Amino acid sequence: MGIYLNPGNEGFRETIRSKIYVDKTGLIAFTNERIGTEQKYICVSRPRRFGKSIALKMLAAYYSCGCNSAELFRGFRAEKEETFQEHLNQYDVIFLNMQQFLIRSKNRGVTEYLEQVVMEEIREAYGEFVPERITELAEALEKIYVKTGRRFLFLIDEWDCVMRERQESEELQKQYLDFLRNLLKDQPYVALAYMTGILPVKKYGQHSALNMFWEYSMTDQGTLEEYTGFTGEEVQELCKRFDMDFAETGNWYDGYRFVNFRHIYNPKSVVESMHRHRFSNYWTTTETYEALKVYIDMDFDGLRADIMKMLGGESVRVNTRSFQNDMRTFHTKDDILTLLIHLGYLGYDSGTEEAFIPNREIIREFENAMSVGGWPEVMRVLKASEKLLEDTLNGDEESVAEGLDKAHTEIASILTYNDENAMGAAIGLAYYSARKDYKLIRELPAGKGFADVVFLPLPHTGKPALVVELKYDKTAKSAIEQIKDRQYTQALEGYAGEILLVGIGYDKEKENKPHSCVIERVKKLS
């Protein structure tokens, strides 16, 4: 057993001995299918602390020869798979943590240092087949394959750290990509290459060094959706086990949305909240909010308006295809938003090609980033939102209209009203503080149409639901009439609390007090 060659199963043993382990061994069936095929090159990119390294420890334990890992998988999903015994501990695994190589190489080249230390272990195991003159890893593995027919399985962690931490050195990045291409592409000794990082494979125009990889990223996880984070069923089981509220857990940590799995939870935060038995910011504390602030402060036309819309509960269209998969090449606001998707600060719906802020934990991180400066108008609106909600719950129509007037004045230079959609984004922002106790739903199918905004109270808050209808260039009274005529409250038939009907109108011809508000209470539904 070595550090880089056949690292053994201790890493996975520690994982499954932990108080919380969610069974993700089903991933092994996926990798087994791709061994020795044209699809044997796999690049999985996810945000930090989303279980990437844990998955690699699991794969290392399963594939590494020289150890017996059958007992570690007893009772888990992988053991039930047809191919489980066929590949169990049958491969020479080369495990490369690129972050470690980058740190330890210091003034030397990253790839030069990597080859030196890995070659030491290769010579210990296969020295008789590798002449002294050979110092290149790829050439050594070729010799071993020719002499023994032995194939290697590559597990590469933090593959993109060179792109993230050496952003200014394009020469180093290209050298590194060429090293990986030479080591892996079209090499007969490669049984499987599975690498993970935060970013997808770097694009360099014509320079497509790693175009053989099948990519699974936050914009398209494909068949790996359920391994991206925790699923709703998995979190529900954890909440039962640790006596935690499932709805509140979702409010804090759910929101990553894919094609088949519409509810993927942040695994780091869920585990922390179960251990500590309280909800708070856990994932976002693993990196300073300055990391987010750098990007949302960038001066791209329309970026600030999109950020404000998402803070107000909206989704925004994003073209993810122009992104160069690095952290310094930005040409449009879409490049910034796409990076934030890969970093985990935004969720993404590939069906609608829209981005959104996924949950309460991330919303608070945006607030932290904006509070440092550069967003004074927005911060004033957010701070005033507590009173706006209180006035609404008290039925104070005049104060609500006045509060909306002030909010609109603050953000008019960034987010202008031109229709009910834009108005809805601004209203959502004005009611920002409601996210603590409510789930905001835009365009909820209801009765004979769609309710513009519904604020559904979280369990145990004791607050009424809000059904809000917006009218651009019409009266608040007409908005209330529409709620009643189209029976929007039918969407809340399963809800047994009090409901407030909130009609909001905006008269674009009025310079002063353009907003109007009508609030009505309805009886509890049976």
Q: How confident is the model at residue 351 (pLDDT cuts 50, 70, 90)?
A: very high
What's the confidence (pLDDT) of residue 458? 87
Average pLDDT estimate for 70-77? 97
CATH code of 201's domain: 3.40.50
54 and 153 part of one domain? yes
* 221 located within any domain: no
70 and 122 part of one domain? yes
Structure tokens at 505: 């109108």
What's the confidence (pLDDT) of residue 272? 97
Give the C-alpha separation, 30 to 8, whole Å.
21
Mean pLDDT of the chain: 93
137-148 and 170-184 helices, crossing angle to 10°: 0
pLDDT at 12 over 90: yes
Write down the pTM of the prediction.
0.94
pLDDT at 482 over 90: yes
Return the DSSP state at 226. G
**AA identity, residue 21:** Y
CATH code of 492's domain: 3.40.1350
Count of domains forming the chain: 3
Structure tokens at 291: 């990391």
Neighbours of 391 (CB within 10 A): 19
* 450 located within any domain: yes
Pairing of strands 152-157, 190-197: parallel
Give the C-alpha separation, 496 to 498, whole Å.
7
Give the C-alpha separation, 333 to 49, whole Å.
26
26 and 172 part of one domain? yes
What's the confidence (pLDDT) of residue 508? 87
Q: Do residues 497 and 507 make contact, with C-beta atoms less than 8 angstroms apart?
A: no
What's the confidence (pLDDT) of residue 205? 54
Q: Write down how long the chain is.
A: 526
What's the confidence (pLDDT) of residue 128? 95
Dihedral (Cα; 94, 99, 100, 104), 10-degree rounding: 130
197 and 305 part of one domain? no
Nearest to 512 by CA among 350, 415, 401, 388: 401
pLDDT at 342 over 70: yes
Predicted confidence (pLDDT) per residue in 266-313, tens digit: 999 999 999 999 999 999 888 877 889 999 999 899 999 999 999 988
pLDDT at 120 over 80: yes
Q: Do residues 140 and 4 make contact, with C-beta atoms less than 8 angstroms apart?
A: no
What's the confidence (pLDDT) of residue 204? 64
Among the candidates 374, 391, 425, a domain finishes at: 374
* 5 located within any domain: no
Give the C-alpha separation, 320 to 337, whole Å.
8
400 and 493 part of one domain? yes
Give the C-alpha separation, 278 to 431, whole Å.
25
Instruction: Out of 137-151, 206-220, 274-288, 290-304, pick the least confident.
Output: 206-220
Write out the H or E segment, with its range, that includes residue 215. strand 214-216
For residue 282, report the phi and psi dihedrals to the nearest 5 degrees.
-115, -50
Among the candidates 153, 185, 216, a domain finishes at: 216
Give the C-alpha separation, 80 to 32, whole Å.
13
Q: How confident is the model at residue 510 (pLDDT cuts 50, 70, 90)?
A: confident
Q: Do residues 234 and 81 make contact, with C-beta atoms less than 8 angstroms apart?
A: no
Which strands sit side by side in the sheet containing 499-506, from one edge to the other? Answer: 438-446, 449-457, 465-472, 499-506, 515-522
Give the C-alpha separation, 266 to 358, whole Å.
10
pLDDT cut 90: percent of the chain above it = 77
* 114 located within any domain: yes
Neighbours of 288 (CB within 10 A): 11
Q: How confident is the model at residue 489 (pLDDT cuts 50, 70, 90)?
A: confident
Q: Please give the full DSSP string across 495-506, using - where no structure is assigned.
A: --S-EEEEEEEE
Predicted confidence (pLDDT) per residue in 401-410, tens digit: 999 999 999 9
Predicted confidence (pLDDT) per residue in 272-281, tens digit: 999 999 999 9
* 4 located within any domain: no
182 and 161 part of one domain? yes
* 1 located within any domain: no
Average pLDDT estimate for 42-59? 97
Q: Do residues 423 and 417 make contact, with C-beta atoms less than 8 angstroms apart?
A: yes
* 250 located within any domain: yes
* 176 located within any domain: yes
Of all residues in the chain, what percent are helix, strand and coil, respectively (each to 5)?
Answer: 45, 15, 35
What's the confidence (pLDDT) of residue 420? 79
C-alpha neighbours within 13 Å on the C-beta side of residue 519: 19
Tell me which residue range forms the domain holding 421: 376-522
230 and 338 part of one domain? yes
Sort 281 into a burial class: Cβ within 10 Å, 0-12 / 13-18 / 19+: middle
238 and 102 part of one domain? no
Among the candidates 186, 216, 246, a domain finishes at: 216
**AA identity, residue 482:** Q
Give the C-alpha separation, 191 to 184, whole Å.
10
Place of tokens 């709620």: 483
Average pLDDT estimate for 93-101? 97
210 and 137 part of one domain? yes
175 and 27 part of one domain? yes
359 and 388 part of one domain? no
What's the confidence (pLDDT) of residue 525? 53
Structure tokens at 284: 């976002």
424 and 491 part of one domain? yes
What's the confidence (pLDDT) of residue 285? 87
Per the model's pLDDT, the better-predicted residue between 511 and 244 turns out to be: 244
pLDDT at 107 over 80: no
